[in-house]
Amino acid sequence: MTDTSNLPESARILVEHLGATVALKIIKVWPGLKFRVPLGIRDESPMRQKLVELLGEDDTLLVMEQFGGEIIYVATCAQAVRDVRDTQIIAEYSAGGTIVDLALRYRLTSRQIETILQRTPGANTVIRHRVRPVDENQFDLFGHGVTPTPPA
């Protein structure tokens, strides 16, 4: 069974009723859109034609059987997509990929790759923190730490 825990509710419903493959095709092509699902087999509306082009006749009939006449919202699933991407980045880095190569491949900055490598996909918190050494000559901007001693 497909893990849908990180999907929005509307996407979980699509997966539950249509299966992961059909739902993913719809989500990839129409993210963030609402549309009315055609009602019947004789419906020759432009939406039915678009569904047939995307899914084929059999899967279009499945969509119509499950949601015919309803307006459905296709979630963007942005967080789930990022989680998959982040998992791939972590795996590629663990296999010897460099931060620069990953940044170029995924069209991200080096800093974004470093941040991804410091957290668990699906979590919003960083699990490792980089500790910077305190520079005794740097002024404390917000008054939370050491203030430098003025030169004699």
Tens digits of per-residue pLDDT, 32-79?
999 999 987 777 889 999 999 999 999 999 999 999 999 999 999 988
Residue 122 falls inside a structural domain:
no
Same domain? 30 vs 65: yes
First-to-last alpha carbon distance for the chain, in angstroms, is 71
Per-residue DSSP letter, 42: T
Could you tell me what percentage of the chain is helix, strand and coil, using 3-state DSSP and rounding each to the nearest 5? 50, 5, 45
pTM of the model: 0.62
pLDDT at 119: 82
39: containing domain:
9-73
Same domain? 67 vs 82: no
Is the pLDDT at 93 greater than 70? The verdict is yes
Mean pLDDT (the chain) is 83
Residue 124 falls inside a structural domain:
no
Same domain? 82 vs 50: no
Report the domain count for the chain: 2
pLDDT at 48: 92
Q: Tell me, letter by letter, the H, E, C secondary structure of 61-84.
A: HHHHHHHCCCEEECCCCHHHHHHH
Length of the chain (residues):
152
Same domain? 67 vs 15: yes
Q: Where are the alpha helices (DSSP H) in 4-109?
A: 9-18, 20-29, 46-55, 57-67, 78-94, 99-106
Query: What band does 148 get if pLDDT is binned at 50, 70 and 90?
Result: low
Mean per-residue pLDDT, 118-134: 55
Query: What is the rounded CA–CA span in Å between residue 116 and residue 99?
Result: 11
Query: What band does 125 get if pLDDT is binned at 50, 70 and 90?
Result: very low
Q: Are 20 and 7 in contact (CB under 8 A)?
A: no
Residue 40 falls inside a structural domain:
yes
Query: What is the rounded CA–CA span in Å between residue 85 and residue 106?
Result: 8
